[in-house]
């Protein structure tokens, strides 16, 4: 499903109906700062089209998934964290704390990140 969903938070952010702090954009993707950052740099990259999660995005529009990842790499370059290192994350389902059902890539970095996996 790729048409805009008026109930979807990130569709509304892409449309400009809800304000966000833009970081990078292309014809197919939009990157903006996370409202509740979990690292010194925390940017979200979304496809402009609505796709529910990374798995459906990969199945429905694999080139668009590649655009999202390449945009994440460009964000890292632009934010000056390409050489210091960064993490690209897709959360899926409740155990991963997933809350927004429009596929989105987290770009995290700008400081030493914690280990991922079990809480500590
Ligand atoms: P998830 O937990 O679904 O992988 O990630 C959703 C992310 O969206 C969270 O990190 C959360 O802080 C962020 N978020 C939720 N609502 C908003 C919002 O209105 N604006 C921005 N910029 N980020 C949001
Ligand atoms: Zn959406």
**Which range of residues forms the domain containing residue 34?**
9-109
Mind listing the pLDDT tens digit for each residue in 37-75?
999 999 999 999 999 999 999 999 999 999 999 999 999
Which residues are marked as active site? 104
In a domain, 39, yes or no: yes
In a domain, 119, yes or no: no
Q: Whose CA is nearest to atom 21 of ligand 1?
A: 35
Q: Residues 95-107: what's their mean pLDDT?
A: 95
Q: What is the structure's pLDDT at 120?
A: 62
Query: What is the residue with the minimal CA distance to atom 19 of ligand 1?
Result: 35
* pLDDT value for 1: 57
pLDDT tens digits for range 11-40: 999 999 999 999 999 999 999 999 999 999
- Ligand of minimum distance to the alpha carbon of 52: 2
pLDDT > 80? residue 95:
yes
Question: Which CATH number do you get for residue 104?
Answer: 3.30.428.10
Please give the full DSSP string across 34-64, using - where no structure is assigned. Answer: -SS-SSSEEEEEEESS--SSHHHHHHH-HHH
Structural domain count, the chain: 1
| Residues 65 and 45 sit within 8 Å (Cβ to Cβ) | no
Phi, psi of 11 (to 5 degrees): -60, -40
**Whole-model pTM?**
0.96
Digit-coded pLDDT (tens) for 51-60:
999 999 999 9
């Amino acid at each position: 499903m790729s048409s805009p969903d008026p109930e979807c938070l990130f569709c509304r952010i892409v449309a400009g109906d809800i304000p966000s702090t833009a970081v990078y954009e292309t014809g197919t993707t939009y990157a903006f700062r996370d409202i509740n950052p979990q690292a010194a740099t925390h940017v979200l990259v979304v496809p402009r089209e609505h796709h529910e999660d990374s798995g459906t995005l990969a199945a429905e529009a694999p080139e668009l998934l590649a655009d999202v990842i390449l945009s994440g790499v460009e964000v890292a370059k632009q934010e000056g964290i390409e050489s210091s290192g960064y993490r690209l994350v897709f959360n899926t389902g409740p155990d991963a704390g997933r809350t927004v059902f429009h596929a989105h890539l987290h770009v995290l970095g700008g400081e030493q990140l914690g280990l991922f996996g079990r809480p500590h």
